[in-house]
Structure 1
Amino acid sequence: MASIVSRVLFGRRHNASGQTPDPAKVAEPVTTFPSPNFKESVKYLAYGSNLSAETFLGRRGIKPLSQVKVRVPSLTLSFDLAGIPYKEPRFANVRPREEEDQELMGVVYEVTPEDYRKILTTEGGYSVIEVTCIPLEPVKGMDSFESKTLIVPGKGTRTTHEGLPSLRYLNLLIKGARQHSLPPQYQDYIANTGYYEARTIRQKVGSVAVLLTVLPVVIFLFGIRNFVSDKDGKAPKWLNDAQVFCFGQIWNLYDYVWKPLYGDGESTRHSVKKADEVVANAGPATETDALLVKAEEVTAVNWREPESSQA
């Protein structure tokens, strides 16, 4: 049953072997960065759940040519992409960095054009932008380089309401940061965001009720998307519109029905200061996490702009 769900969610090209790559091995570059095909390859910056080996190489089935950890002075990490109330209130996004902000850190994967199209297919949405990346460790003959990354612009975010990621999602980011040996201070910075926790009986009942309402929508919409998208990962406009409408209605339901009934489902904060606290509090990953991963992709759908229009 689990493999059937994964195929529905992640498409016909999903890695269905059931084998999750060893994170210790995945974190090692396939070849020395940059690869011999650097000019022809696509450079893709991961900063959120794609830092995790289980997500990027396991469920998405991507095979990087090489990889390098970087900092991005022009961007900062933000959690303003609305997901599922009570369960996954916010997902990672980026925004332009202001003076007091922590600069973004992540990993740039060198991938083939075919694997890049697969990334766009499995991500479901976002706008593609190019940013300047600076390697965290010296790379011979290269002080900086340009890379593509994904962002949800303001119209696709819920910035007018405070919101937090779940413990599951925060742990996924920290695990990815650890697999790639990003600086401990940056890992603690991610952890210091804190996470949403359903504390009252009302909130816990709401968590179950809302999840049972939303997950069938996620499975249905992405089951369709994987079969009607073209080779570049672009779905028909009618499907994009349907997904945006459905998730807009979910948050309308939250604002006007679920929140008055079940209480706060996006900003009840559990504070932590260190990455170790997040890892210690998080439970083991399960196959149902795949459903929650897809929720992130659904919420971002329809915000990707044509690459030719990006700076």
Structure 2
Amino acid sequence: MTSVVNRVLYGRRHNVTEPTPDPAKVAEPVTTFPSPNFKENVKYLAYGSNLSAETFLGRRGIKPLSQVKVRVPSLTLCFNLAGIPYKEPRFANVRPREEGDQELIGVVYEVTPEDYCTILKTEGGYSVIDVTCIPLEPVKGIDSFESKTLIVPDKGTRTSHGLPSLRYLNLLIKGAREHSLPPNYQDFIANTGYYEARSLRQKLGSVAVVSTVLPVIIFLFGMRAIISDKNGKAPKWLNDAQVFCFTKIWNIYDHVWKPLYGDGESTRHTVKKADEVVANAGPATETDALLVKVEEATAANWRDSAGSRA
């Protein structure tokens, strides 16, 4: 059943009759960075779950033409994108860097325009911005370059404090390790801490909320995969439906689920080192593929001017 749902959510590129490809093999770029057609191709900066080859490359079927590790002095990583209470409270986002903030480190994938459209089609309602990236290791003839990345502005984030799940934190660290990002940056991600439903009330809340929310997400993204245009843009009514649904999810949490089941977003469990996250996260399951889609769906929970939304 999960494989069928994955087919609906990810489209024909995800073959339900075949296992997910080996991330290490899928992640191998066609050529070294930059490719011969560097100027014509799209440069896309990944900083969150898209660092993971299994998520970004394996399930979406996208193979980078080239890739490079970079730092982005203008941005910092944050976890202010609301997901599902009790299960996936927050996802990664970026915001302008302020004094004392850790600068963003990520990976720029060089992709074809067609694959870039696939990224936009499966990424919900993020806004696309251009940022200056500096390679972590010397690249002949390139000191810095412009890349596209995805962001949800402040007006689309949840202002109250919240944390990612251990599953999601592990996904980010796995991706950082696949690309050999600096160990101190991996520890910076781990030091965020994570939310986990541990009390009986919270566990009951997790079951109740997930069983209510996941069918909605499956339906919305099934519709998005079917009716989005060739550039990955969904109709306004579908974006508005996502906005409405996720606004209602958190309204219900604030007024019903939280009083009934207790805190579902900010109970912090401390982890300081990346190794601790990997050791405690356990093996990935097929259900994780559905939870990845939650991150993409929640990005639509904001409104922007016409044409800026993916």
TM-score, normalised with respect to structure 2: 0.96
**1:35 alignment counterpart:** 35
2:198, 2:75 → 1: CA distance? 33
Q: Please tell me whether residue 200 in structure 1 is matched to residue 199 in structure 2.
A: yes
User: Which secondary structure state, in structure 1, belongs to the residue aligned with residue 150 of structure 2?
Assistant: strand
Query: Which residue identity lines up with residue 246 of structure 1 in the other structure?
Result: C
The answer as to 2:269 corresponding to 1:282 is no
* Alpha carbons of structure 1 residues 73 and 163: separation in structure 2 relative to 1, 3 Å: same
**SS state of the match for residue 170, structure 1?**
helix
SS, match of residue 81 in structure 2:
strand
What's the C-alpha RMSD, in Å, of the aligned pairs? 1.7
Shift of 1:129: 0.3
Which residue number corresponds to residue 121 of structure 1?
121
Equivalent-residue separation in structure 2 for 1:245 and 1:78 (angstroms): 24
Q: Would the alpha carbon gap of residues 6 and 309 (structure 1) be closer, same or farther in structure 2, given more than 3 Å must change? A: closer
Report how many aligned residue pairs link the two structures: 309
In the other structure, the counterpart of 1:241 is 240
Distance 2:17 2:43 in 1: 27
SS in 1 for 2:122: helix
SS of match in other structure, 2:137: coil
- Cα distance, 1:20 vs. partner? 2.7
Residue 99 of structure 1 corresponds to which residue in structure 2?
Answer: 99
Matched residues in 1 for 2:290 and 2:32: separation? 34
What's 1:230 paired with?
Answer: 229
Query: Does residue 4 of structure 1 match 2:4?
Result: yes
Preserved CA contact (<8 Å) 1:15 1:61: no
Contact 1:127 1:304 survives alignment (8 Å): no
Deviation, structure 1 residue 74:
0.3
Where does 1:160-239 land on structure 2 (aligned, <5 Å)?
160-239=159-238
Give, in whole Å, the separation in 1 of the partners of 2:181 and 2:140. Answer: 20
Quick one: which amino acid aligns to residue 123 of structure 1?
A: E
The one-letter code of the counterpart of 1:238 is W
1:108 corresponds to: 108
Whether the aligned pair in 1 keeps the contact of 2:29 and 2:63 (CA below 8 Å) is no
Supply the distance in 2 between the matched residues of 1:276 and 1:74 (Cα, whole angstroms). 28
> Match of 1:83, SS?
strand
Q: For the residues of structure 1 that align with 2:15 and 2:54, how far apart are their CA atoms? A: 11
Contact residue 128 and residue 307 of structure 1 kept, 8 A: no
- Residue type of the partner of 1:77? L
CA distance change for structure 1 residues 56 and 236 in 2, over 3 Å: closer, same or farther? same
- Superposed displacement of residue 27, structure 1: 4.7
Superposed counterparts of 1:293-308, under 5 Å? 293-301=292-300, 303=302
SS in 2 for 1:69: strand
Amino acid at match of 1:96: P
Report if the CA contact (8 A) 2:163-2:268 is conserved: yes
Q: How does 1:66-77 map to 2 (within 5 A)?
A: 66-77=66-77
Distance 1:32 1:152 in 2: 31
- Tell me which residue corresponds to 1:48: 48
Question: Is the contact made by 1:152 and 1:304 (CA closer than 8 Å) also made in structure 2?
Answer: no
Q: 5+ residue gaps in structure 1? A: none
Percent identity for Structure 1 against Structure 2:
84
User: Which residue does 1:262 correspond to in 2?
Assistant: 261
Distance 1:309 1:223, change over 3 A: closer
| TM-score, length of structure 1 as denominator length | 0.95
Conservation of the 8 A alpha-carbon contact between 1:76 and 1:104: yes
User: Which residues in structure 2 correspond to 1:110-149 (within 5 Å)?
Assistant: 110-149=110-149
3-state SS in 2 of match to 1:123: coil
1:9: Cα distance to partner? 1.2
Q: Note the residue ranges of structure 2 that are not aligned, 5 or more in a row.
A: none
After superposition, the Cα gap between the structure-2 partners of 1:184 and 1:17, relative to the gap in structure 1 and judged at 3 Å, is farther
